[in-house]
Amino acid sequence: MSSEPALAHTSLETAHLLAALPLGAALTVAARTVLGARTIGVFAPALLGLVLVDLGLRAGMVVILVAALGGLAALPIVVRLALPRVARLGLLLSAICAALEVSGLADDQRAAMPVVVMTVLVERGWDVASGDGWRASTTLIGSTVLLAVVIASLLLTPPVEALLSAGGLRPVVVGGLLVALAGSYRGLRVGEHRRFASLRNSEIAQVA
């Protein structure tokens, strides 16, 4: 008797995931240029978003969480070994694979999708923590995963699903146009309104 895959299937077919990538990229660009979201890796949120779309939000989050915990658990040993970066990444990747295997999630091959992204995420998180502290690192990892959830949620809305299911070049062109549009925004990012509040207030006072 074959074992049932632990992960559920979603309505978006795997064949349409490639077409969803430019849309995910557009959302990442918009989150950066308009909101000022700081994330690890330019397209890590888009790739993780696709993982969540493919596995389903709940199952996808379980895989991401288990992968993150596996990587974080191995981190103290990996750091103590003082290995070159490539070896450090290799060990973290092994730890993440082991965590997915032990938790029974590796029965479904789709669980392998986020392994590389999560390896980079954990390693980069450690790098940021060693320079700016764990608070900065947690915020960065948290915003990366949060953006991935937002991307997945938007990709699973009926209009976007319909666009992706139509296939062809249309979703890719739409994604490309949205990237160009979001990339040409020149105004202040949402976070900058607060960052420069005192300067802006003094300018307003001068004008008044």
Question: Cβ distance 147 to 64 under 8 Å?
Answer: no
How far does Cα 142 stand from its chain's mean position? 9
Q: Shortest Cβ distance from residue 26 to another protein (Å)?
A: 16
Q: Shortest Cβ distance from residue 130 to another protein (Å)?
A: 9
Asked if 202 is part of the footprint of another protein (rule: CB under 8 A), the reply reads yes
Interface residue with another protein among 132, 157, 162, 167 (CB under 8 A) is 132
Interface residues for another protein in 88-127 (CB under 8 A)? none
Return the closest-CA partner of residue 43 out of 23, 58, 63. 23
Asked if 134 is part of the footprint of another protein (rule: CB under 8 A), the reply reads no
Asked if 86 is part of the footprint of another protein (rule: CB under 8 A), the reply reads yes
CB atoms within 10 A of CB 29: 20
| Token code pair at residue 199 | 């300067």
Helices 17-30 and 44-55 meet at what angle, rounded to 10?
130
Interface residue with another protein among 168, 169, 198, 208 (CB under 8 A) is 198
Question: Cβ distance 26 to 160 under 8 Å?
Answer: no
Q: Shortest Cβ distance from residue 33 to another protein (Å)?
A: 6
Residues in the interface with another protein (CB under 8 A) total 21
| Token code pair at residue 165 | 């299911």
The residues binding another protein (CB under 8 A) are 33, 36, 82, 84-86, 131-132, 185-189, 192, 195-196, 198-200, 202-203
